[in-house]
Amino acid sequence: MSQTGNVLVIGAGIAGMKASLMLAGASNKVYLVEKLPIIGGKVIKNEESFPNLECSTCMVAPIQQDVLQNPNIETLTYSIVEKIEGKLGDFSVVIRKKARYVSLTDCIGCGMCYEPCPVSLKNEWEENLIDRKAIYVPCSGSLPNVPVIDSEHCLKLNGKEECNLCVESCAFEAINLDDSDEVMEIKVGAVILAAGSSTFDLSSLPNLGYSTLPGVYAPMEFERLFASNGPTLGEITLRESEKIPESVAVIHCAGRKEQKYCSAVCCMYSFKFARFLKHKIPSASVFNIYSDVCVPGKNYQSFYKSVEGTDTEMLYTSSIDEVQVSENGPGLKVTYSDASGSMTELNVDMVILAAALVPDDDAAELAEIAGVDLDSRGFIATVQDGSGSMETSREGVFVAGTAEGPKDIQNSVIQAESAAGQVMDIVTAEVSGS
């Protein structure tokens, strides 16, 4: 088969992986490009996923394995797409495979090389809650389980000092400090953009105290704090004081007003957090401060009802945009207007902000490279013909998952399979017809 049966998928989160597996199953050759050294996306940051609080690793690891072992999928980790030219059925794509310095085929993931590395810096994947070395895997359980060397911080690679410690510690001769970027050109018939999303920049909301008050957390920070493979091995302790919080407020809709949309998942993950907190700290008091509960679909309200009143007290505020978080001795004070409009204070040890899902930092750049339009909010736009088509403004280029807008795992998977279905339907029809 020519390039017709080849598909480029950008982003190896749940959406990108599911789309790739479906296409590969129908004997299409898939190039799956992921910018991080590992695949899995955001879901693997969460120990458990709503609505069933199912173990995310158990859910995603088999999918990751299937992707890595599928002979029809060429997974290019630590890589970026630089150019997409051509048209439906005949795209030329330029991909840069960044130097990893560790061989994906020779390394067995034993981890012997981390310890000797003298460099230590914040691990971004762990939301900067713990340190990593210059040679590292983002987290335990990473797939592929092969480290990468951060060339910016490696003493040898940034030219600061002679160092060869990791090379010496590797019995498999898997490390090559002379590795360099590789640029490859491929031909594909269609493209699926599944590059995911990010969360709202909470430091732009001074009233909520994020980044100034150490007890205030972003949701992903809390996910990592809860995760048993995370920085605290799953122990929920506060930044700086290392205390176990006895009272926690989860404040909904952070960034909703600014973004002008409801993200539809933050209520659910807020309730999940309440369950997590009560599970690990049974004596803790947990409050959810909210204006609206958005639990769409057949499975969600029952989860909400199961936490309401048991795991968390629900505190209604008539104005979610005006909630204030301030310092209060060693703890925090949350001020909000209650149902009757009068200002109420709540003293807590910890605050978690339910941040909106927003376009990824490099969404605009990706759109530019892919030659597709963004919508008014900065997500990748679909044709908007009312059919829920996943096709973008450029024929042959599709989008799926949270790259298109906020959504949960279920809808990300549906869009991925829907996009893959469209690729198989349209692209093959187009080419056989012409």
Partner 1 sequence: MKEFEMREAGQDKNLRAKVGVYICECGPNIAGKVDLDKIIADLSQLDDYQDVELVVKKYGFLCSGPGKEFLEEEIRSNGYTHLVVGACSPRDHDSTFMGVCKKTDLNPYLYRIINIREHCTWVIDDKEKATEKAFSYIRGGISRVLRQSELFEKPLDINPDVLVIGGGIAGMEAALSLSGEDRRVFLVEKTDHLGGISLDLSGLLPGQGEIIKNKIDSVTEDKNIRLFLNTSVETVIGFLGNFEIELVSIENAETTDIMAGAIVVATGSSLFDPGESAHLSYSESDEVYTSLSVEKMFSGEGEARLRSGKKPSSVALIHCVGREEKNYCSGICCSYMMKLAGFFRNQSPDIQVTEFYRDLCLPQKDDQERYTEAEAAGVEFVRIKDISIKGTEVSFEKMNSKKSEQSFDMVVLAPAIVPSADTEELADLLTVPLDESGFFQEVHKMTNPVGTSTDGVFIVGTAHGPKGVSDSMQFARASAGQILTRLIPGEKLIPEVKVTEILEAYCTGCGNCLDVCVYGAIYSDDSRGISVVNEAVCRGCGNCYGSCPSGALRTKHFTNTQLYREVDEALR
Ligand X SMILES: Cc1cc2nc3c(=O)[nH]c(=O)nc-3n(C[C@H](O)[C@H](O)[C@H](O)COP(=O)(O)OP(=O)(O)OC[C@H]3O[C@@H](n4cnc5c(N)ncnc54)[C@H](O)[C@@H]3O)c2cc1C
- The reply on whether position 156 binds ligand SF4 by CB under 6 A is yes
Tell which one of 76, 300, 334, 380 touches partner 1 (CB under 8 A): 300
- Minimum separation from the CB atom of position 212 to ligand X (A): 21
Tell which one of 7, 80, 405, 427 touches partner 1 (CB under 8 A): 405
Maximal C-alpha separation, the chain: 72
Tell which one of 86, 109, 141, 144 touches ligand SF4 (CB under 6 A): 109
CB closer to partner 1 out of 53 and 244: 53
Question: Using CB atoms within 10 A of its CB, is residue 174 exposed (0-12), middle (13-18) or buried (19+)?
Answer: buried
**What is d(CA 383, CA 400) in angstroms, rounded to the nearest whole number?**
13
Q: Which does 424 bind (CB under 5 to 8 A by kind): partner 1, ligand SF4, ligand X, none?
A: partner 1
Residues 6+ apart with CB under 8 A from 125: 36, 45, 138, 139
**What is d(CA 269, CA 259) in angstroms, rounded to the nearest whole number?**
19
Q: What are the tokens at 208?
A: 């909520």
Question: Using CB atoms within 10 A of its CB, is residue 103 exposed (0-12), middle (13-18) or buried (19+)?
Answer: middle
Tell which one of 19, 253, 397, 414 touches ligand SF4 (CB under 6 A): 253
- The reply on whether position 95 binds ligand X by CB under 6 A is no
- The reply on whether position 267 binds ligand SF4 by CB under 6 A is yes
**What is d(CA 25, CA 144) in angstroms, rounded to the nearest whole number?**
21
Q: Which does 214 bind (CB under 5 to 8 A by kind): ligand SF4, ligand X, partner 1, none?
A: none
Site mask for partner 1 (CB under 8 A), range 407-426, x = bound? -xxxx-xxx-xx-xxx-xx-
Residue 94: name the closest of 31, 151, 39, 150 by CA.
31
Return the amino acid letter for 8. L
- The reply on whether position 362 binds ligand X by CB under 6 A is yes
Question: Using CB atoms within 10 A of its CB, is residue 15 exposed (0-12), middle (13-18) or buried (19+)?
Answer: buried
At what angle are helices 14-25 and 409-422 packed, to 10 degrees?
30
State which of positions 60-79 bind partner 1 (CB under 8 A). 63, 65, 69
- The reply on whether position 154 binds ligand SF4 by CB under 6 A is yes
- The reply on whether position 135 binds ligand X by CB under 6 A is no
Q: Which does 272 bind (CB under 5 to 8 A by kind): ligand X, partner 1, ligand SF4, none?
A: ligand X
CB closer to ligand X out of 47 and 349: 47
Question: Which chain residues interact with ligand SF4 by CB under 6 A?
Answer: 102, 107-113, 116-119, 134-135, 147, 149, 154-156, 163-166, 169-170, 172, 174-175, 252-253, 256, 262-264, 266-267, 292, 294, 354, 356
